[in-house]
Amino acid sequence: MATLTDWTSRAQQSDRIWVARSETFVDPDDGYYAVIKVPTKALITQVWIHIATAFTAAGAILTVGFEGNGDTAVTNCFFTTDIAKPTETGIKRSFPDVAVSVEGKWFDTYRGVITITTDDQGGTAGTFTVFAEFAEIF
């Protein structure tokens, strides 16, 4: 039988779980925005978007992604427009409820931000807030 080598460490456990909230966006201009700061050594476990007032134009764009950690930014990492459904009100969770491009994000090297991209396509942009749950692991 192989010898078990113990590599466990209490220093690598987290007792810090955070839920952060963005500002509430009310009919924002089309653009790319940093909405929630994420510290180094943070594991994003879930992201939600609450759309209180729907966008009015079919084809409106609303994505949620990230930038930072020394990685290439992915503007739709947590939500693509078809999952965010900006023309429908309600709260949507990025994972594990839906298929997304990633199932979490580990900011191990540098801090970062959760981002949104919005384009009302000539209509009125809705009212929405983004939330993120993450654990800081030192």
User: CA–CA separation, 23 vs 25, rounded Å?
Assistant: 6
Q: What integer pLDDT is reported at residue 96 of this predicted model?
A: 56
The token duo for 68 is 């930072």
pTM score, two decimals? 0.87
Question: Which one of 1.10.238, 2.60.40, 2.60.120, 3.20.20 gives the CATH number of domain 18-136?
Answer: 2.60.120
Cα diameter, the chain: 68
Q: Provide the b/e sequence for 111-131 (b: ≥16 CB within 10 Å).
A: ebbbbbbbbbeebebbbbbbb
Q: pLDDT of the chain along its 138 residues, tens only?
A: 778 877 666 566 667 899 999 999 999 999 999 999 999 999 999 999 999 999 999 999 999 999 999 999 999 999 999 999 999 999 998 865 555 556 689 999 999 999 999 999 999 999 999 999 999 987
